Chains A and B, each alone.
Chain A
């Protein structure tokens, strides 16, 4: 493929006009704002063709030398570096210019992560904002961005950051109370909001109780809560282990309605323990049993 491209351009070059000269002047502004109208003065006379090519757009226009070339607000909207060629017969004039983003924020790419995190995490939540103009160009000039995080209890944390190369970011603490937080970012008149779910942390303790049911022993935990008093969600796995006479029995039980419940065979001198994740709970010693 590289050879094809090379050959193509080699052929183009063979056919290219030789000995081009710049005989007339034109005055292209070095910088224009995206989506704004501007004009370029030319000198000389006669018809010419203007080409404006960059990685954001490509334009061609027939012009009369000696007159102004007018660009409308619709013409160049994508920020970038552009090359302009003005070709009249065998003469070519060239210029380079930059289209820069407009100064007014019109869109925010707001990445709030994670969208679900345990309560009470210091700097556990990050917010990153890329500030864009109405044409999805990055505003590289510094902009003020306000981040606000309101937690389920109604309290709000607020931070202000200034963009650098178009990006601003903060780290925030998660709420102490489980539930949904609203995480907002705003710059100028533009505001974007994300939802963040604060979930309970590790169970603070795991405590089980037992009562006999014939040859079986019924085990049930107290409702599991984290160290901030939030109920540990259903589905969390609690492991019951019964050790007896060189053998053991284990059951992984999901919390349902806040508690984990199972039945094990009551074996004489068995020791039953309970754990959830890395949190180890109490033990029960079976005195009678089978």
Chain B
């Protein structure tokens, strides 16, 4: 009886599959979503505008720059190196090490000889996924279509000398010998200056701010434990990426600690444990955060530009925003990583997404950056 039932199910699935293949062939979808796996062979031709776009994005996903570049309609305008740099970035930015995780293609307009598509590429990086959206013009050339790539040239920094009074802290610890009582360098003194638990999305979120009140740089973490009415520990978590781990003297970092699967109503008290250790650090580069602006729903976000005021290239920047209500209480902490490197004196845009319900409460905000250079963190 079981065998017979299984056979019927297999037959139904086979018929349904054949039916769907037929429907998809006769009435193809005008938008597409794809995984750029190197083994994927969804689209290989350029007999339609959409095929050409999908084919190009799949080549990009495979980092097959030569094949992707050779099929472009406007390749005479730039070199293959410039094309690859546009997508992977220069100077060891997040893009350099990112992989194309997927893309969506949406038609914007089409005629017999020309079409336009919006391609949303999702790049997977070590700090999560970032999106790169491009409007692609596709032109017919004979019996096939070619994409004209909208090259975004990375800014070039003009040759110049930028004087910097370099300030750096180096640390010499006392060594491994156990001589109790002998002094070691004192760990930096840090202090929680704000802490606020909120119920959100079926879990508890701890929002707060941490001040380095010392005169030396601190590598900081914050650990939180939620305690129940009987003093039992419901959950423990620590701030992972929603904090600036490196704090210079008198610098304040927000932190956000997410607890899933715990209700605020279960929580009797919160035990917060900041910790700080002394690290070698540099006071540079200085990053200006310009044109910060809150954008309302539906695209509720905080946007702005990072301006590297120093003479060093910053490979990766981490931007963290703290959002306050009218009473000065923290209502949210969010962050973003611009995908491009920060070149000296060159603005790089950023956008921190805000939940719509939070956006309406925000009365003020504070933004800070942490920067990473090859072999350094600041």
Q: Does A194 contact B (CB under 8 A)?
A: yes
Residues of B within 8 A of A199 (CB): 214-215
**In whole Å, how far is B249's beta carbon from the nearest beta carbon of chain A?**
4
Q: Digit string of B287-319 for contact with A (CB within 8 Å is 1, else 0)? A: 111111110000000001000010000000000
Q: Does A110 contact B (CB under 8 A)?
A: yes
Cβ B213 vs Cβ A194 within 8 A: no
Q: How far is the CA of A249 from the CA of B181 in the complex (A)?
A: 47
Q: How far is the CA of A233 from the CA of B294 in the complex (A)?
A: 35
Residues of A180-207 contacting chain B, CB below 8 A: 192, 194-195, 199-200, 202
Q: Does A209 contact B (CB under 8 A)?
A: no
Q: Digit string of A226-268 for contact with B (CB within 8 Å is 1, else 0)? A: 0000000111111000000011111111101100001111000
Residue of A at shortest CB range from B184? Answer: A115
**In whole Å, how far is B41's beta carbon from the nearest beta carbon of chain A?**
48
Q: Does A276 contact B (CB under 8 A)?
A: yes
Q: Does B353 contact A (CB under 8 A)?
A: no
Q: Digit string of A61-77 for contact with B (CB within 8 Å is 1, else 0)? A: 00000000000000000
**Partner pick for A247 among B186, B215, B292, CB 8 A cutoff:** B292
Cβ A249 vs Cβ B283 within 8 A: no
**Partner pick for B288 among A200, A237, A249, CB 8 A cutoff:** A249
**Partner pick for B366 among A110, A194, A250, A254, CB 8 A cutoff:** A250
Q: How far is the CA of A110 from the CA of B186 in the complex (A)?
A: 15
Known: A115-B185, A249-B289. A256 touches B165 (CB 8 A): yes
Q: Does B243 contact A (CB under 8 A)?
A: no
Q: Does A170 contact B (CB under 8 A)?
A: no
Cβ B169 vs Cβ A247 within 8 A: no
Known: A252-B286, A278-B193. A110 touches B181 (CB 8 A): yes
Residues of A84-114 contacting chain B, CB below 8 A: 108-114
Q: Does B248 contact A (CB under 8 A)?
A: yes
Residues of B194-216 contacting chain A, CB below 8 A: 211, 213-216
Q: How far is the CA of A66 from the CA of B149 in the complex (A)?
A: 107
**Partner pick for A277 among B167, B180, B250, CB 8 A cutoff:** B250
Q: How far is the CA of A256 from the CA of B169 in the complex (A)?
A: 13
Q: How far is the CA of A281 from the CA of B282 in the complex (A)?
A: 25
Q: Does A144 contact B (CB under 8 A)?
A: no
Q: How large, as a class, is the contact surface on chain A? A: 35 or more
Q: Does A171 contact B (CB under 8 A)?
A: no
Q: How far is the CA of A277 from the CA of B211 in the complex (A)?
A: 7
Residues of A within 8 A of B213 (CB): 202, 277
Residues of B within 8 A of A250 (CB): 288-289, 292, 366-368
Q: How large, as a class, is the contact surface on chain B? A: 35 or more
Residues of B within 8 A of A264 (CB): 288
Cβ B293 vs Cβ A246 within 8 A: yes
Residue of B at shortest CB range from A265? Answer: B290
Q: Digit string of A147-175 for contact with B (CB within 8 Å is 1, else 0)? A: 00000000000000000000000000000
Q: How far is the CA of A158 from the CA of B232 in the complex (A)?
A: 45
Cβ A276 vs Cβ B250 within 8 A: yes
Q: Does A116 contact B (CB under 8 A)?
A: yes
Known: A116-B186, A249-B291, A249-B292. A235 touches B167 (CB 8 A): yes
**In whole Å, how far is A44's beta carbon from the nearest beta carbon of chain B?**
47
Q: Which of B181, B214, B294 has the most CB of A within 10 A?
A: B181
**Partner pick for A262 among B181, B252, B288, CB 8 A cutoff:** B288
Residue of B at shortest CB range from A185? Answer: B181
**In whole Å, how far is A90's beta carbon from the nearest beta carbon of chain B?**
46
**In whole Å, how far is A34's beta carbon from the nearest beta carbon of chain B?**
20
Cβ A115 vs Cβ B292 within 8 A: no
**Partner pick for A249 among B167, B251, B290, B368, CB 8 A cutoff:** B290
Q: Does B62 contact A (CB under 8 A)?
A: no
Q: Which of A108, A112, A256 has the most CB of B within 10 A?
A: A256
Q: How far is the CA of A114 from the CA of B215 in the complex (A)?
A: 13
Residues of B within 8 A of A248 (CB): 292-293
Cβ B165 vs Cβ A252 within 8 A: no
Q: Digit string of B344-378 for contact with A (CB within 8 Å is 1, else 0)? A: 00000000000000000000001111000000000
Known: A235-B249, A247-B293. A200 touches B215 (CB 8 A): yes
Residues of A within 8 A of B184 (CB): 115
Residues of B within 8 A of A278 (CB): 193, 211
Residues of B29-55 contacting chain A, CB below 8 A: none
Cβ A254 vs Cβ B283 within 8 A: yes
Q: How far is the CA of A138 from the CA of B252 in the complex (A)?
A: 44
Q: Does B61 contact A (CB under 8 A)?
A: no
**In whole Å, how far is B301's beta carbon from the nearest beta carbon of chain A?**
13
**In whole Å, how far is B282's beta carbon from the nearest beta carbon of chain A?**
9
**In whole Å, how far is A141's beta carbon from the nearest beta carbon of chain B?**
21
Q: How far is the CA of A17 from the CA of B189 in the complex (A)?
A: 64
Q: How far is the CA of A222 from the CA of B211 in the complex (A)?
A: 23
Known: A235-B249, A252-B286, A276-B250. A116 touches B214 (CB 8 A): yes
Q: Does B217 contact A (CB under 8 A)?
A: yes
Residues of B within 8 A of A233 (CB): 215, 249
**In whole Å, how far is B1's beta carbon from the nearest beta carbon of chain A?**
55
Residues of B within 8 A of A253 (CB): 286
Cβ A115 vs Cβ B283 within 8 A: no
Cβ B283 vs Cβ A256 within 8 A: yes
Known: A235-B215, A257-B165. A277 touches B252 (CB 8 A): yes
B residues in contact (CB < 8 Å) with A: 165, 167, 169, 180-181, 183-186, 189, 193, 211, 213-217, 248-252, 283-284, 286-294, 304, 309, 366-369
- Inter-chain pairs besides A252-B368, A257-B165, 18 sampled, C-beta below 8 Å: A109-B181, A111-B181, A130-B181, A200-B215, A234-B167, A235-B216, A236-B249, A236-B250, A246-B294, A250-B292, A250-B366, A251-B287, A251-B289, A254-B249, A254-B286, A263-B309, A264-B288, A278-B193
8 nearest A-B residue pairs (beta carbon): A277-B250, A254-B283, A109-B181, A237-B251, A116-B186, A251-B288, A236-B249, A249-B290
